[in-house]
A and B are shown apart, each in its own frame.
Chain A
């Protein structure tokens, strides 16, 4: 199966959007080659700004550009592009409801060998708690193209979580329609596996493992963590009565927490959380998913434990 990283969709989709007539600019912080914004910069040099290793300035400059009527995308690695400049994102971008789109790459433990300092595992939480901020976590290359398009055409601040790790194809094409968006990729009746990003393909593989054990798992791609597609999630959970949330992210405050908040209020349901609860370590990305129980085996195990409760 073809594998591609979600970051690969970033620069090239921005090029398409400018070709389609959108007034888009991009700001990076010395990582344009890695984030793929260099591609955009090569096509539209006048629309691409590199502030150097200065993430706070990156968000400020993008904010100012948005004040002049442009839709401004920022990047860097997720750890620096959200954490280093969190105050700017909170107080300037989110509070002012600016047309700034925070789209860093290299999110999650699958960054691999660079280790804990570069493996961003708190970004969904940090962005989700900000009023006015919408949060998209695409599962594959096609979903990432859709996410970047939606970010460009949705008014106000949007966070798009992109990764470096090559992931299997989940979608053969992009999808239409607005937010919120969650999608049932595989139907089942015993447990709902709600996954986002890299974890969607692993949840699908986990469903195969569970099927061999006579457990019917439904797999949902939670593409928009904020806003949540409540209808799709509640319909699935009402049917299965069990939910396992799967994210390449801390279990505190991320997508799993968002779903727990929803279910606590509207449909209390036994839930298991697949995610991280420590900083990462250096190793190959796939090995790390296995090591931290984020792979298909780990997800299937959590589902079985939940059903046996």
Chain B
């Protein structure tokens, strides 16, 4: 975080956007090589993942997976494993060539995150509706540790999808987190509006998610899931909350960054062909060049 404060804010946000762009590039490359997987939700959460991992939000040692004293990240929407792997790639915890082994026999990069195969992964996820309860336990455990050390408790972060909020188990976890006043727990919901069978509002509407979380006793922030400045502000706001857990509701676009995938329910769980991947990469490269030029101008311009 210290390093970041020395930069101009617009420079920092452009860097985070470039990281998200790089993640999207990796996601497309991986999924094309795998021939299966989930591009839509991986792309929709890339900006959130960029801010979480590289925006100074989570406390961890970038040189070592599972470093002592780290904050813990639980990917409840485990099907977007590629998005997690690209963060690990950016940290050099996974090498570039290894990304191409996604979903292949013998790979550490399982279709859904597997902590027994890939060290940085905290816990196996993939069955929806399980991550938040796990994050509850992590936050509770950190509070218990903090009672002994008298230090501020470490934090648990949990990324969920909006379709996943239909799982009743999440509401058990939401109730318990508020009851236990887990102010070291931050949930992020990536609200891309689509699930396998169609728009969330048509399959089974979540209603007013903000009102629901508030009624359960949570602190709620809203953010544009593709605006890194809004995301940074939201994470900053929740870090000051005491006595209750926080959630950041992020409105996003499923398939964000690839024109033909955006808002298309069919891209939930289908990998792009070589041709489609090439088009996606071309679009992402153009966006990268635009962001790079902008960054150059911010750094060296007037």
With A52-B175, A54-B176, A68-B138 known as contacts, the answer to whether A60 contacts B122 (CB < 8 A) is no
Interface assignment of A62: CB less than 8 Å from any CB of chain B: yes
| Contact between chains at A68 and B141 (CB < 8 Å) | yes
User: Do the beta carbons of B147 and A95 come within 8 Å of each other?
Assistant: no
B288 to chain A, nearest CB (A): 36
Q: Report if B133 contacts A (CB, 8 A).
A: yes
A164 to chain B, nearest CB (A): 25
Residues B137 and A60 in contact, CB atoms below 8 Å apart: yes
The answer to whether the Cβ of B98 comes within 8 Å of any Cβ in the partner chain is: no
Of A25, A46, A64, A97, which one neighbours B136 at CB under 8 angstroms? A64
Closest Cβ–Cβ distance, residue B157 to chain A (whole Å): 12
- The answer for the CA separation of A51 and B137 in the assembled complex, in Å, is 11
Q: Which residues of B contact A61 (CB under 8 A)?
A: 133-134, 136-137, 140, 176
Would you list which residues of chain B between 104 and 142 have a CB under 8 Å from chain A? 114-116, 122-127, 129-130, 132-142
How many residues of chain B have a CB within 8 Å of chain A? 36
State which of A47, A56, A63, A72 has its C-beta within 8 Å of the C-beta of B123: A63
CA distance A65 to B134 in the complex (A): 8
State whether A92 touches B144 (Cβ < 8 A): no
| B250-291 interface with A by 8 A CB criterion | none
Instruction: Count A-B pairs with CB separation below 8 Å.
Output: 111
A56 contact from B135, B139, B142, B172, Cβ within 8 A: B172
Which residues of chain A are within 8 angstroms of B138 by Cβ–Cβ distance?
64-65, 67-68
B134 near A63 with CB under 8 A, answer yes
Q: For the complex, what is the distance from the CA of A108 to the CA of B87, rounded to whole Å?
A: 48
- Give the residue name and chain of the B residue nearest to A67 (CB): B138
| Chain B nearest CB, measured from A40 CB (Å) | 15
- Chain A residue at minimal CB-CB distance from B131: A60
Q: Which residue of A lies closest to B141 (CB)?
A: A68
- Which secondary structure dominates where chain A touches chain B? helix
Chain B residues within 8 Å of A47, by CB? 144
The distance in angstroms between the C-alpha atoms of A47 and B145, with both chains bound, is 11
Q: Which residue of B123, B134, B141, B156 contacts A69 across the interface (Cβ within 8 Å)?
A: B141
CB under 8 Å from chain B, chain A span 99-158 = none
Q: Which residue of B lies closest to A87 (CB)?
A: B127
| B134 to chain A: closest residue by CB | A64
> A residues 43-57 with Cβ under 8 Å of B?
46-47, 49, 51-52, 54, 56-57
Of B123, B141, B142, the contact of A92 (CB 8 Å cutoff): B123
Contact indicator A96/B115 (Cβ below 8 Å): yes
B137 to chain A: which residues have CB within 8 Å? 27, 60-68, 72
9 A-B pairs (CB sep. < 8 Å): A56-B168, A57-B176, A63-B133, A63-B137, A64-B133, A70-B144, A87-B130, A91-B126, A92-B127
B residues at A contact (CB < 8 Å)? 72, 74, 114-116, 122-127, 129-130, 132-142, 144-145, 147, 156, 168-169, 172-173, 175-176, 179-180
